[in-house]
Amino acid sequence: MSTFTTAAATMQQLSQAGMEEASRHGLRVGDLEHLFAALVLNDQLAGRALRAIGLSLEGVRDATHRMNAAHLQRLRVTTMTAEPQRIVFQETRGYEWTPRAMDVLTAAGGKNAGDAEAVLRALLIEPSGLMNDLLAHLDTSADAVRTALAAEAAQPTPLSNGTLKSPDKRGVLVEIFVPAPSAAVWSLLADPARLPEWHYLIGSVEVDTAAEIVPGVIWAVLAPTHQPDGTPVRVKERFRRHQMQLLVIEQPNRISWRSSYPDFPRRRAIELSIQITAVAGGCQVRATSSGTPGPTWKTLLFSPLHPLKRFLDWISLTQITAGISRAFR
Amino acid sequence: MENDDTAEAAAAGDDPKSGLRAVVALRAHADALELREVEAALRVGLSWSEIAAALGVTRQAVHKKYHRRIDPTIPVPRRNP
């Protein structure tokens, strides 16, 4: 994976997770503590190193709350901070990073790798002192994190092959860390009635409760008609109905579907495969998505657009995997 | 908040940067409260101008800051309906 691709993918993943954290607190501006929370969730080396020293999303949230309470107390401000709400990032707009958080992200790029490790290293030397403060509330330190990074770098890479392409080269691949036990993630993914909880293109499922959940079974699925906040969603009629066919179900860690549009048969079917692996503090979810191959002439004709199409497919798969992670946050 | 308290904290050997970080935390807290109050005001039908006047800023300033950030389900008043 090129430095540019790495940096773009990292920025997209950290920005989404960081802004989701900010949105829980009624904020539309993400700051250093939200970026750090996003790093703890990250599937790259940086996230693995942080989790290896016992850090978790809940721990970071709790430490941030205690740190902010101590700050307000220092100013002799007595106020009740509002309880965090659910994540509303997907249904609100106008998000941005604070200038100092942008400085960290910018410093991680340039001559550096632009990956999550570079972001974490830049965060550890940010000049405000907030990170040292937060790490102290987590009973750790910047040096301990650097040591963990070095130790993790010496480990063999567990799953990621460092590419956005799926192993069959036809599709795209996204790996994420989910802060929940693999059994809980499996329960979410293997239950067709729960598809709308994590798949952003699915609003409702017609499930025949008597039908056995075996490979080949097909569920009728409808696109969402409303956002979680009630805003209507406009969907073209031909994309309103889907069919989700279960291709593989290997309890407790591998599941695969093929989705197609019965009202738009020319549209290629998409295969989505998900594999779950238990890791420290949660599980690793590896998702691949690929379209069924079209005619050769069409493949050749549109070959110049392949990089763009691959990127759009990757963004779509990122939304799906983010939905799985969000279901546990 | 009293000046004496801040001076006391500084005299006690507190890191002065800690006080500055505390102000940043207070500002973030105020920002969250301000967004919540702007949304509440819009929900009961206040106009952007009325909200701006209450906040002591221009209508343009409050609209620019919040029109994209508020809950999209809130019916937003238009100047020329």
Q: Is the pLDDT of residue A219 over 80?
A: yes
Give the pLDDT of residue B1: 44
Among the three residues A153, A188, A222, which one is the final residue of a domain in this structure? A153
Give the pLDDT of residue A157: 67
CB-CB contact of A246 with A217 (8 Å): yes
Per-residue pLDDT of A145-171, as tens digits, reads: 999 999 999 887 655 544 556 666 678
Domain assignment of residue A161, yes or no: no
CA–CA dist A190, B80 (Å, integer): 51
A206 vs A18, higher pLDDT: A18
**How many domains are there within chain A?**
2
Q: Is the pLDDT of residue A321 over 70?
A: yes
Residues of chain A with C-beta less than 8 angstroms from the C-beta of B14:
74
Q: Is the pLDDT of residue A13 over 80?
A: yes
Q: Say whether both A148 and A182 belong to one domain.
A: no
By percentage, how much of chain A surpasses pLDDT 70?
Answer: 89
Chain centroid, CA A97 distance in Å: 18
A186 CB neighbour count, 10 Å cutoff? 18
Domain assignment of residue A163, yes or no: no
CB-CB contact of A46 with A39 (8 Å): yes
Which residues in chain B show pLDDT less than 70? 1-14, 78-81
Give the pLDDT of residue B6: 53
Looking at this predicted complex, what is its ipTM? Answer: 0.71
Whether B8 has its CB under 8 Å from any CB of chain A: the answer is: no
A327 vs A306, higher pLDDT: A327
- Give whole-number Cα distances, A111 to A20, A33, A115, in Å: 28, 24, 12
CB-CB contact of A173 with A310 (8 Å): no
Q: Is the pLDDT of residue A253 over 80?
A: yes
Strands A96-97 and A29-30 turn out to be: parallel
Q: List the single residue in B with minimal CA-CA distance to A100.
A: B24
CA–CA dist A329, A57 (Å, integer): 9
Domain assignment of residue A47, yes or no: yes
Domain assignment of residue A165, yes or no: no
Burial class (CB in 10 A: 0-12, 13-18, 19+), A198: buried
A58: its two tokens: 């809940």
Residues of chain B with C-beta less than 8 angstroms from the C-beta of A94:
66-69
Among the three residues A153, A180, A213, which one is the final residue of a domain in this structure? A153
Per-residue pLDDT of A263-302, as tens digits, reads: 888 788 899 999 999 998 899 999 999 886 666 666 666 6
Tell me which of A23, A25, A28, A226 to substitute to probe the interface with B (most B C-beta atoms closer than 10 Å).
A28
Per-window interface: B 22-51 vs A, CB < 8 A: 22-26, 28-29, 31-33, 35-36
Residue type, A45: L
Domain assignment of residue A166, yes or no: no
Q: Say whether both A116 and A177 belong to one domain.
A: no
Return the CATH number at A23: 1.10.1780.10
CB-CB contact of A194 with A320 (8 Å): no
> CB-CB: which of B20, B26, B71 is closest to A77?
B26
Give the pLDDT of residue B61: 94
A21: its two tokens: 């954290």
Q: Say whether both A182 and A146 belong to one domain.
A: no
Sign of CA pseudo-dihedral A197, A202, A206, A212:
negative
Give the pLDDT of residue A231: 73
Among the three residues A153, A186, A221, which one is the final residue of a domain in this structure? A153
Question: In this complex, how many residue pairs, one in chain A and one in chain B, have their CB atoms less than 8 Å apart?
Answer: 84
Q: Is the pLDDT of residue A140 over 90?
A: yes
Mean pLDDT of A68-95: 84
Return the CATH number at A281: 3.30.530.20
Domain assignment of residue A159, yes or no: no
Per-residue pLDDT of A187-209, as tens digits, reads: 999 998 899 999 988 999 887 77
Q: Say whether both A322 and A176 belong to one domain.
A: yes
By percentage, how much of chain A surpasses pLDDT 90?
Answer: 53
CA–CA dist A51, A177 (Å, integer): 10
Domain assignment of residue A46, yes or no: yes
Contact call for A133 and B72, based on CB within 8 A: no
**Domain carrying residue A143:** 3-153
Give A286's strand partners: A175, A275
Closest CA to A13 of A100, A125, A108: A108
Alpha helices in chain A (DSSP H): 3-24, 32-41, 45-52, 57-74, 99-108, 116-124, 130-137, 142-153, 182-190, 195-198, 296-301, 306-326
CA–CA dist A314, A311 (Å, integer): 5
